[in-house]
């Protein structure tokens, strides 16, 4: 059995289940949006103090970092206080903050959704400002600390050099005024030591100043964070997700319906379509009626079926045809009488099946099975057991389009017969 046969069984036999599943999921989607409120989204664009990304992955990593900072409750609380919106819960507002990268650039878009457009714009601008300030506090704190340490050390060395210069001047003055040779030698040694200490301090100061210059150069080359586009109050509200969720709900309902229909077909399989029924029973189709056998089928349909029944009977060399209902217990007597009338001029007797008067050998007779285009496989199995008992040749099939009312009436009739048979 190919995929088309499976789909035909599921759709033709269980289309009501599919429609019901889709209707239920769509209704649930509508109920979820029943209490939706109108919201507005304000958007600001910022850049952080990061190098331009070379790939989309790097850009998304920068956006993730910015979102982690922007959605922190402490930052949101500070932003709400700055925007004079203390009536809002920072945790709820943080859920409505989105930070996304614009392509693979370093520009980030910060979006805030709120029930008030002006409030959304105010929150977005305050969050953007707090984001930049927090980012600078994280990335430049270490640099400022290093710069402060360098400045302190340079000042200390300058003081050391200045005091050493004063000492050298005093020693030089004492050296020039002394007449004692031993004292002069001692002063000369002190002067040399002071000069060496001064040279070492000057060398250290040069190293520290080089480090400070390098740090200032690196800080100057670092990108400067900035709000490049402030958020403005949006004019139009956000579109409701109802019209997005309804198609998704319908698709989900279709999937669930197909799953349930497939389960039902697994438990109670059916055979759908004239071709599949003919293939299962190994008999040709003699015609299809637009109404059940006990209904008002058009006369042209009866004439066409009668002609085919006569041809099948003539080909099989039989003069008597018995109509056997398969599936719903419908009355095939009216169809047998109309086929017999339509076969006027040809010696062919057509009657409804009656187990009490069927012969075991079925000599000179043939069976025509009358069954709906959608039939349960168990009904076909029961029909096969019946054919094994009567040993009568099946010359063809007559199918009809059974309505739900026909199946319900047949079920009620079987239940009534069962009830009557159980009475004493």
Q: What is the mean pLDDT of residues 258-277?
A: 82
How much of the chain, in percent, has pLDDT values that exceed 70? 85
Q: What is the mean pLDDT of residues 161-186?
A: 85
Rounded CA-CA distance 72/66 in Å is: 10
DSSP string, 302-341: HHHHHHHHHHHHHHHT-SEEEEEE-SS----HHHHHHHHH
Q: What is the mean pLDDT of residues 128-151?
A: 80
Rounded CA-CA distance 354/370 in Å is: 14
How much of the chain, in percent, has pLDDT values that exceed 90? 23
Q: How confident is the model at residue 16 (pLDDT cuts 50, 70, 90)?
A: confident
Element (H, E) at 394: strand 393-400
Mean pLDDT is highest, among 93-102, 189-198, 332-341, for: 93-102
pLDDT-wise least confident of 24-33, 177-186, 220-229? 220-229
Query: How many Cβ atoms sit within 10 Å of the Cβ of residue 358?
Result: 17
DSSP string, 70-132: HT-HHHHHHHHHHTT-TTS-HHHHHHTEEEEE-TTSSEEEEEEEESSHHHHHHHHHHHHHHHH
Cα angle 136, 138, 142; round to 5 = 100
Query: If you average pLDDT over every residue of the chain, what do you get?
Result: 82
Query: Quick check: helix, strand or coil at residue 178?
Result: coil
Which domains, ranges and CATH numbers included, belong to the chain?
3-35+240-267 (no CATH), 38-234 (1.10.287), 272-422 (3.40.50.300)
Residues across the chain? 424
Mean pLDDT is highest, among 75-89, 262-276, 290-304, for: 75-89
Q: How confident is the model at residue 15 (pLDDT cuts 50, 70, 90)?
A: confident
Is the per-residue pLDDT at 217 higher than 50? yes
Predicted confidence at residue 98, as pLDDT, reads 94
Predicted confidence at residue 379, as pLDDT, reads 85
Q: Is the pTM of this model over 0.95?
A: no
Mean pLDDT is highest, among 83-87, 111-115, 215-219, for: 111-115
Rounded CA-CA distance 175/256 in Å is: 106
Predicted confidence at residue 34, as pLDDT, reads 80
Q: How confident is the model at residue 95 (pLDDT cuts 50, 70, 90)?
A: very high
pLDDT-wise least confident of 166-175, 366-375, 410-419? 410-419
Query: Quick check: helix, strand or coil at residue 396?
Result: strand
3 state SS for 41-86: EEEEEEECCCCCCCCHHHHHHHHHHHHHHHCCHHHHHHHHHHCCCC
Is the per-residue pLDDT at 247 higher than 60? yes
46 or 327: whose pLDDT is higher?
A: 46
Predicted confidence at residue 4, as pLDDT, reads 67
| pLDDT tens-digit map of 181-193 | 888 888 888 888 8
* Beta-carbon contacts of residue 47 (< 8 Å; ≥ 6 apart): 106, 107, 108, 223, 225, 226, 228
Predicted confidence at residue 336, as pLDDT, reads 87
353 and 325 in contact (C-beta within 8 Å)? yes
pLDDT-wise least confident of 178-182, 214-218, 314-318, 319-323? 214-218
- Residue 284 corresponds to which tokens in the numbers above? 């040709």
Predicted confidence at residue 50, as pLDDT, reads 81
């Amino acid at each position: 059995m190919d995929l088309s046969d499976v789909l035909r069984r599921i759709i033709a036999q269980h289309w009501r289940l599919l429609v019901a599943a889709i209707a239920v999921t769509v209704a649930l989607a509508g109920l979820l949006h029943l209490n939706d409120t109108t919201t507005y989204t304000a958007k600001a664009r910022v850049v952080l103090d990061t190098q331009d990304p070379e790939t989309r992955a790097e850009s998304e990593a920068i956006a993730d970092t910015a979102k982690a900072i922007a959605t922190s409750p402490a930052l949101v609380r500070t932003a709400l206080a700055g925007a004079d919106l203390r009536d809002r819960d920072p945790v709820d507002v943080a859920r409505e903050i989105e930070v996304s990268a614009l392509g693979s650039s370093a520009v980030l878009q910060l979006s805030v959704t709120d029930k008030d457009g002006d409030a959304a714009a105010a929150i977005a601008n305050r969050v953007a400002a707090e984001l930049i300030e927090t980012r600078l506090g994280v990335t430049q704190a270490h640099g400022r600390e290093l710069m402060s340490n360098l400045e302190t050390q340079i000042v200390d060395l300058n003081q050391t050099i200045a005091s050493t210069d004063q000492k050298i001047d005093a020693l030089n003055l004492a050296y020039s005024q002394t007449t004692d040779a031993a004292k002069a030698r001692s002063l000369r040694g002190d002067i040399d030591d002071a000069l060496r200490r001064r040279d070492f301090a000057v060398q250290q100061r040069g190293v520290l100043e080089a480090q400070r210059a390098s740090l200032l150069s690196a800080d100057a080359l670092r990108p400067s964070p900035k709000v490049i586009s402030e958020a403005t109050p949006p004019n139009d509200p956000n579109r409701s997700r109802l019209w997005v969720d309804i198609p998704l709900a319908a698709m989900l309902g279709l999937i669930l319906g197909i799953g349930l229909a497939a389960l039902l077909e697994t438990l109670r399989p059916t055979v759908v379509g004239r071709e599949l029924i003919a293939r299962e029973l190994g008999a040709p189709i003699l015609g299809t009626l637009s109404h059940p056998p006990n209904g008002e089928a058009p006369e042209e349909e009866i004439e066409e079926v009668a002609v085919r029944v006569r041809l099948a009977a003539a080909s099989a060399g039989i003069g008597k045809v018995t109509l056997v209902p398969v599936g719903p217990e419908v009355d095939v007597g009216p169809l047998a009488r109309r086929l017999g009338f339509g076969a006027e001029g040809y010696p062919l007797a057509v009657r409804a099946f009656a187990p009490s008067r069927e012969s075991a050998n079925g000599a000179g007779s043939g069976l025509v099975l009358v069954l709906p285009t959608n039939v349960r496989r168990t009904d076909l199995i029961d029909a096969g057991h019946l054919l094994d008992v009567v040993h009568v040749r099946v010359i063809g099939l007559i199918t009809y389009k059974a309505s739900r009312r026909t199946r319900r009436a047949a079920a009620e009739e079987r239940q009534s017969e069962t009830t009557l048979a159980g009475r004493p």
